[in-house]
Chain A
């Protein structure tokens, strides 16, 4: 795969946390490229630096050293204002603990990123209802997060991440709190959307089962990329093939 096609370019990325006297090297030296349309799974043991890496890609933390270019733009040197615009236009985020706003209904929650963009209530709720329909929650559209199960809440969270049709979606352990069956449902929704809208997904997991949905697995150990494998027979691809 050539460089032109790379949507994310990470070069010599290093993150060191200073804890008083002690230095914690969370990321040692990472070099990799992620291509448009890839579903990447960052896999590794606890403390291997997965979350740190993902947060840095999402622009929530600044690297100690090295550069991250997303869509050709250096993300670590953006101002808060630029980051906000960039997030509105290109990035989506799925949280492990859903993080829905408790005072807003499912539709309102899904529509939030569009509200931040200044889109009218009518338009954004139309888009939100469509996505809720796609994640199978039409009947829950006007319910509050407190009235929904974990799996349902996470599906609302996914709808919210996709509502702006972002180019890249980040997800840190999106199925961490869910049982196996729900995990399957959620992962299928994510991968299905990604294929449909040709989106890039980067998700973090320590669950090997997740790897089945990914077409690229980045295995991290102690802040380094140990293994970087591209798979050809993911569940999603198998399904696609069946459909043909």
Chain B
């Protein structure tokens, strides 16, 4: 028999018993729907959690700190060792100034910003680390120029004004609802145009003041990023070598030999792929350092997700299994009704393989129809769920992390739709295997005997 004839014949048979066919299809629709919805909830959960983690911080970042100075120091040797680790793609040593730092600006150093966060870091690496610029651009940045935090300008106080009225308080203009500033007045200083002096140590002019100074030019302004650190708000990022030299000078001045100039406060390691974070972190720990990465949060969260997804998948699978039983049952019923028809077909010379194909095709068609309608219905249910749903349905300790207003509870990617339809067809065909074999075994004689 030609394939097109088998298809036509199969469709005709299904249409002849419309009621029964539709009931069976309904079973598949329910099964397909529940599998798709369950999986889509799992996917929605995963996307939400990943987005949340990404909001919390960089997923491929490992922070390295000193555990015990006697065992391992964060010096250039450590940097080299970490760089040698496979998949540790970018290694960024950072120095955090522990000594008070202040900035002076304006005519006669009228404006001062005190206790600013001061970080020393290679500016090329800073770009790779993920600092973003609000003003200026990386290309035109010159060696030795500093990066200022977005609101560093507002940290300056006017020494000519009385205490309490000497600063532009930017928080006065901050709107919590919209998370933005409204009508923020200009600051006293313009970071990008005015030359500044960096002072490390005691306040100049006080008794026995020990300090070192360095004139400084801000090359660009960083975008504020809470996940990165306060330096992006009211801090300063200078070249590591510049800061090293300043600190060394200051230490000499104050007779402090304890802080060696080659030691870093922390090292940031960027890994190309999230999946490599774990192994790289392990290697670094072996070197004797303490590390922190989002992996420690991501891993249990992921395991939790996987468990939930499995559970959801099982619930869906059970209903699809029931649907498969429905198909098998329908087909077996159809066969006992069609014993005679099959006998006639055989006595007229129909090949067994064609009878088998016919029955498998009918079963597959039921699966296909159920799958297609099921996936359509699933999209509808998914849309309703997302429109009506609130985020408390995860019921776990990560709930608070998930911003329910922007996240979808249920997500059906295209591959899930394709998979669902193909799987429904497969379920139909598999459910049709036994009935088809049964049909093939019906002897031609039965066509005559039934008389």
Contact = CB atoms under 8 A, between A and B. Distances in A.
Most chain A CB neighbours (cut-off 10 Å) among B341, B348, B350, B443: B348
A102 B350 CA distance: 17
Given A103-B13, A118-B1, 4 more contacts: A60-B443, A60-B445, A81-B352, A116-B345
Interface of A: 51, 55, 58, 60-61, 80-81, 84-89, 91, 93, 95-97, 99, 101-104, 112-113, 115-118, 120-121, 160, 164, 172
Nearest to B353: A81
Interface SS majority for chain B: helix
Most chain A CB neighbours (cut-off 10 Å) among B341, B346, B349, B448: B349
B336 to A, nearest CB: 16
Contact of B451 (A80, A97, A120): A97
Contacts of A97: 451
B349 A172 contact: no
B5 interface: yes
A98 B340 CA distance: 11
B214 interface: no
A117 B432 CA distance: 25
B445 A88 contact: no
Contacts of B299: none
Given A60-B448, A95-B448, A117 B344 contact: no
A85 B349 contact: yes
The contact size tier of chain B is 20 to 34
B451 A103 contact: no
Contacts of B354: 116
Most chain A CB neighbours (cut-off 10 Å) among B13, B351, B448: B448
Nearest to A59: B444
Interface of B: 1-2, 5, 12-13, 16, 340-341, 344-352, 354, 443-445, 447-448, 451
Nearest to A97: B451
A53 B2 CA distance: 34
A58 B347 contact: yes
Nearest to A120: B2
Given A60-B443, A61-B445, A104-B12, A99 B344 contact: yes
B438 to A, nearest CB: 15
Given A61-B445, A120-B2, A121-B5, A103 B12 contact: yes
A84 B447 contact: no
A159 B448 CA distance: 18
A138 to B, nearest CB: 23
A93 B344 CA distance: 9
9 contacts: A60-B347, A84-B346, A86-B349, A87-B347, A87-B348, A87-B349, A88-B349, A112-B348, A113-B349
B444 A91 contact: no
Contacts of A120: 2
Contacts of B352: 80-81, 84
A81 to B, nearest CB: 7
Contact of B16 (A86, A87, A103): A103
Given A113-B348, A116-B349, A96 B443 contact: no
A80 to B, nearest CB: 6
A84 B443 contact: no
Contacts of A112: 345, 348
A60 B444 contact: yes
B347 A93 contact: yes
Contact of B5 (A89, A103, A115, A160): A115
Contacts of B451: 95-97
Nearest to B16: A103
A96 to B, nearest CB: 6
A113 to B, nearest CB: 5
